[in-house]
Amino acid sequence: MRFRISDLSFFESAIYNPQSAIKKMEFIKKYKLVIVVVLPILILVLIRSAGLNHFKNDAKKWAEPSIKQSNRITIEQAGSLKKKSLTINLDKDVVRIRELTGDVQNIPADSVLRKNHVSMILKHDGPVMLFSSDPGLSARIWMILSQMGCRNIYILTNSSDNEVFKYKFRPDTLSN
Amino acid sequence: MGPISSLIPMPEWLDLLIALLIGIGFGFSLEQAGFSSSRKLAGMFYGYDTTVIKVFFTAAIVALVGSQFLSYFGLLNLNLVFVNEFYVAASIVGGIIMGAGFIMGGFCPGTGLCALSIGKIDAMIFFLGGLTGAFLFAETYPFIQKLANGSYKGPVKINEVMGISPGLFTFLLIIAAAAMFWLAEIAEKRFARPDITNEI
Amino acid sequence: MNTRIKFSVGLICLGFILALLPLSGSRTFIVKPQKLLSEILDDYTYFTVDQVARFIVSEDSSVQIIDLRSPEEFRVVNIPGSINVPYSRLLDNDPGSILNNGKTKNIFYSNGDIDSNYALAIARGLNFKNTYVMKGGLNEWFNTVMNSNFIGDRISARENALFETRTRAKKIFTEMNSLPDSMKLKFIRSKHIAAKKLDGGCE
């Protein structure tokens, strides 16, 4: 940004080269109005884009893996992962899953958004898997984390057929 | 946040009252800026006075920039804002008719009403012409229905068609507008006519 | 310095900032993460299949049931009165056209527990507070309502009421889904029109 007043070289030049400093002063004076409008907006934008306190991403784009179902992983598949995985157990009870080789962290769902937890998920190099005995809870938490910009997160389920219709409907043709 | 009337349930009269007040404000500013003079408006076509394009383009850009910043800060939900639907054929034909009426009458519909309200006779004739046009349109609608509803594209946004982000589109539009203003100023110098500010 | 040039420079600067922003143009979650988290962890966002059965039996008009499965699955079998919005298309158009329907409760369901809960997190994230999930989905509906059988000798008044609701819901469900395909389609179409987008703006 060229309007940075705190720029050190500006003060240096004010001491050593009065001519150019005066020019710069004039420039700032001329564009005072512009600076007064643009600078606060720029600062607000910077504050907003740096914070973790709100969602910034396109909802549809970051929900895409859930539509393609590429974000689901079964315990079996997880056992054969090559990269070091991080499993997050969202339940209050501690679970032990034998097949898992990587790190397992117990983070109850209500504290998953704590700063240190989010940064742990964001920094982890490799798949992060969410586990809960209720796959619906994993799904909800997955959506929040994904919308916050976490890539490489998966839902760990016991079986891959949660969304498969398991019954057969028998029409009652007599009632017509 | 979104358009007020879709957020807070309000009676119809209040909705209409707000519209009336905004309309009066709009008309007043148009009048004050000299837009009730057909010479100023026609100047756009002859190049000696390009205030119209500057004012309306600036208004659009300021609104665009403002609404996008508000949306970024979570204060305005742009998804609740109505997007006009695009009928290609109707837009072209309608645009030509509107443009012809504009240059012949010396007003656009809004400024025509402004001039009417300060008692300009030509504006009254212009307004009658507009009403006649609306009447003819309604009466002949069955014949031109195919054209009016032809090549419907839905509520499209230009940036989506171009495949760029809304912010980038805004930036490009501002650059284009600034370039156009610069050209307009050149045209004003080239086709200059005596100043009419004191006459209107 | 010319005011017009100043104004142009200011606008260009603002435009430059906008160009760098990740303005998605479409939808971004508007509820704050922490608030959304506490909302979706709350049990009141769930309805049991029995509660949904009661809504259907009592023909509760404040409830809209939304089926998130594919149209093919929907055509085979669906909960009576539900509308079909496949999960993959939930965000294609404005979800407000489906969820801003004046109903106090929009209840999502899918076959299981995953898609419906994605949809809930999305809807709540977009600040549609009138959204809920039918826990267990259609599988649980079949397990509880369709296959309900009373085993035992004595029945309490509460159990009896529950049972009656299930039996009546089952009857409505079977009747509606046993209709010939052509009639089902007609019914679905009429529902579809009712859920069409509202018009607005300057016309």
- In Å, how far are B19, B134, C177 from B25, measured between CA atoms? 10, 25, 58
Contacts of C16 in chain B (CB under 8 A): 171
pLDDT at A4: 52
- What residue spans define the domains of chain B? 11-190
What confidence tens digit (pLDDT) does each residue in A119-159 have?
888 888 888 999 888 889 999 999 999 988 888 899 988 87
Helix (H) or strand (E) holding A105: strand A103-106
| Chain A neighbours, 3+ Cβ pairs < 8 A | B, C
Residue C102 has pLDDT above 90, yes or no: no
| CATH class held by domain A59-157 | alpha beta
Does A3 lie at the interface with C, CB-CB under 8 angstroms? no
pLDDT at A12: 54
Instruction: Flag whether the ipTM exceeds 0.90.
Output: no
pLDDT at B161: 82
What confidence tens digit (pLDDT) does each residue in A15-50 have?
566 677 788 778 777 778 788 888 888 888 888 777
CB contact under 8 A, A48 and B73: yes
Q: Which residue has the tokens 């240096």?
A: A12
Helix (H) or strand (E) holding A152: none
pLDDT at B7: 60
CB contact under 8 A, B73 and A44: yes
Name the residue with higher pLDDT: B127 or B50: B127
Mean pLDDT throughout A59-73?
87
Residue B74 has pLDDT above 50, yes or no: yes
CB contact under 8 A, C200 and B82: yes
Does A17 lie at the interface with C, CB-CB under 8 angstroms? no
Q: Structure tokens of A43?
A: 């600062």
Helix (H) or strand (E) holding C196: none
DSSP string computed for B72-124: HTTS--GGGS----EEHHHHHHHHHHHHHHHHHHS--HHHHHHHHHTT-HHHH
Mean pLDDT throughout C95-109?
82
Q: Indicate the residue of B74, B165, B174 with minimum beta-carbon distance to C30.
A: B74
Residue A90 has pLDDT above 60, yes or no: yes
**Binning pLDDT at 50, 70 and 90, where does residue C37 land?**
very high
pLDDT at C70: 92
| Chain C neighbours, 3+ Cβ pairs < 8 A | A, B
Name the nearest CA neighbour of A34 among C6, B65, C15, B177.
Answer: C6
**Binning pLDDT at 50, 70 and 90, where does residue A104 land?**
confident
Q: Indicate the residue of A41, A45, A54 with minimum beta-carbon distance to B74.
A: A54
pLDDT at C69: 93
| Chains A, B: CB pairs < 8 Å | 7
Name the nearest CA neighbour of B85 among B145, B152, B150.
Answer: B152
pLDDT at B197: 63
- What residue spans define the domains of chain C? 33-192
Please give the mean pLDDT across all residues of chain A. Answer: 80
CA A21 to chain centre: 45
Q: Please give the angle made by the CA atoms of C68, C69 and C73, to the nearest 5 degrees.
A: 150
Residues 6+ apart with CB under 8 A from B188: B47, B48, B49, B50
Name the nearest CA neighbour of A121 among A154, A99, A98.
Answer: A154
Q: Pairing mode, if any, of strands C131-134 and B86-87?
A: unpaired
What confidence tens digit (pLDDT) does each residue in B16-64 have?
888 899 989 998 988 888 888 888 888 888 888 888 888 888 999 999 9
Q: Pairing mode, if any, of strands B152-154 and B86-87?
A: antiparallel
Q: Structure tokens of B33?
A: 């800026």
pLDDT at B186: 87
Rg (CA), chain C: 22
CB B170 within 8 A of CB B67: no
Residues 6+ apart with CB under 8 A from A161: C112
- What residue spans define the domains of chain A? 8-50, 59-157
What confidence tens digit (pLDDT) does each residue in C159-201 have?
888 888 888 888 888 888 888 777 766 666 665 544 444 444 3
Please give the mean pLDDT across all residues of chain C. Answer: 82
Residue B152 has pLDDT above 90, yes or no: no
Which CATH number applies to C33-192?
3.40.250.10
Residue B130 has pLDDT above 80, yes or no: yes
CB C126 within 8 A of CB C36: no
E strand map for chain B: 86-87, 152-154
pLDDT at A39: 87
Q: Which residue has the tokens 């509660």?
A: C51
